[in-house]
Amino acid sequence: MLDTSVTKNALGQSYRAKAYKLLESQSNLSIAAKSINFFLIVLIMTNVIATIFESESYYHEQYLFEFALFEFISLSIFCAEYLIRVWCCVEAEEYSQLSHSKARLKYVFTPIALIDLIAILPFIIAIFFSIDLRSLRLIRVLRLLKLTHYFKGFNIFIAVIAKEFQSITAAIMVMVFLIIIAASLMHTIEGHAQPETFGSILRALWWSVVTMTTVGYGDVVPITVIGKVIATVIMLIGVGLVALPAGMLAARFGEELRERKENLDSKIKVALTDGYIDQKEYQDLASLADKLEIDQEDFKRSIELLKQGNHHAKCPHCGK
């Protein structure tokens, strides 16, 4: 009886490990894993497309049953995917020191798991509450966020935003201050000439925002000479100020990619100290490349380049 229980437990762990590799592992993807990922990507995209077309009353009335059926099938798949991810998350290396219940609880509150939960929220909300259909459509469009599972660039972008958060916040705060100051100036100067558009700071804020962000719709413009001069200065300031966060992000992107590459290269160099990389070392390096969001082709290219450089290096023992 005990042997049967142990066998079932081992079988369950085997299935769980396979499920984790199919859904979560990004390194050395098998054909089955690639097929599942491709299917889920297509399903997410078709869901968003269906939501867009369903918002048009003609299509909604014409294909009401088809839309409802597709939504039911999609929600069933997304629910199954979410539950499987929660079930197999205990196989992740970062949860190896936790109990299964604690690991699953911790995973449920990770950003990626919360995104998966958003994908099935319409089904949960529809069961317990009556809600405006347009709100449900908004939640369904947010299924696009599920693509962060499959495209590594999203995670790099989030990491860059997190590291530059203080700098970007400071730039945005400066922009907000200048918008308020510009609105106050234009209210003072143009308020009497154009009370409908600059009669208060609140009314002048619209002009200030579209001018500082260099959009310049032209629906509201100053007509006094002083107002035009100040508006010119504000426009010039806006051009440089709006470009500032973009420059910060671009520079940080380059630094982030370089740091990740240098981190991986340093580990490869350590593995090559004996002249070759064995199977275990290769698997560890591939796992590290996966965590660092480095493409497998770039990873293999780095190994080859460092191997060539290693041939010309001196032996640490004999110096030859």
Percentage of the residues of the chain whose pLDDT score is greater than 90: 15
What pLDDT score does 261 carry? Answer: 85
Domains belonging to the chain, first-starting first, are: 2-150 (1.20.120.350), 166-311 (1.10.287.70)
- Identify which has the larger pLDDT, 305 or 154: 305
Dmax (CA) for the chain in angstroms is: 94
What pLDDT score does 12 carry? Answer: 55
d(CA 228, CA 232): 6
Identify the three-state secondary structure at position 26. coil
Is 60 exceeded by the pLDDT of residue 254? Answer: yes
What pLDDT score does 161 carry? Answer: 83
User: Which residues, 6 or more positions from 35, have their beta carbon under 8 angstroms from its beta carbon?
Assistant: none
Q: How confident is the model at residue 315 (pLDDT cuts 50, 70, 90)?
A: low
Q: How far apart are the first and last CA of the chain?
A: 63
